[in-house]
Amino acid sequence: MSTIKVDSIQATGETVSRGVSGVAAAWVNFKGTGTVAVRESENVASLTDTANGVYIVNFSNSMSNADYAALLGSASVVYDQGTLQDTSTASYVGIKVQDGAVSSFIDATIVSANVSGELA
């Protein structure tokens, strides 16, 4: 396998280049209700539904450490909802979706994560 080293990247059809450090190391959009299922992803090997509203997204290629940034989101029928980063390591990011009105965790129809950081 060859390695291409660049300072910036531009996708086909784009008119602007961006720094490679700004490209997501991993991202995922998945169904968090019933049988969880990945809709689309990059650098995601699998996901685990550990409890109501609690998920683990396993990376295909680990991060260099657990100090990455994870931007998380979710959608459900609950109005006062929050998406929180749970215990995470270099090999996975933990996600919790919480009903803010009653402080319990809930399954969400859409859960997403965008992880930025250095790959191992």
Residue 64 lies in a domain: yes
Number of domain units in the chain = 1
Residue 28 lies in a domain: yes
Residue 6 lies in a domain: no
Contacts (Cβ under 8 Å, ≥6 apart) of 62 = 90, 91, 119, 120
Interatomic CA distance for residues 4 and 89, integer angstroms = 27
Residue 16 lies in a domain: no
pLDDT of residue 112: 96
Interatomic CA distance for residues 98 and 113, integer angstroms = 15
pLDDT of residue 79: 73
- SS3 assignment, position 118: coil
Q: How confident is the model at residue 108 (pLDDT cuts 50, 70, 90)?
A: very high
Position 8 pLDDT exceeds 90:
no
Contacts (Cβ under 8 Å, ≥6 apart) of 3 = none
113 touches 28 (CB < 8 A): yes
Position 12 pLDDT exceeds 80:
no
Domain span holding position 92: 24-116
Q: What is the pLDDT of residues 16-47, one digit of tens each?
A: 666 666 678 899 999 999 999 999 999 999 99
Residue 10 lies in a domain: no
Residue 14 lies in a domain: no
Q: What is the pLDDT of residues 71-81, one digit of tens each?
A: 999 998 777 78
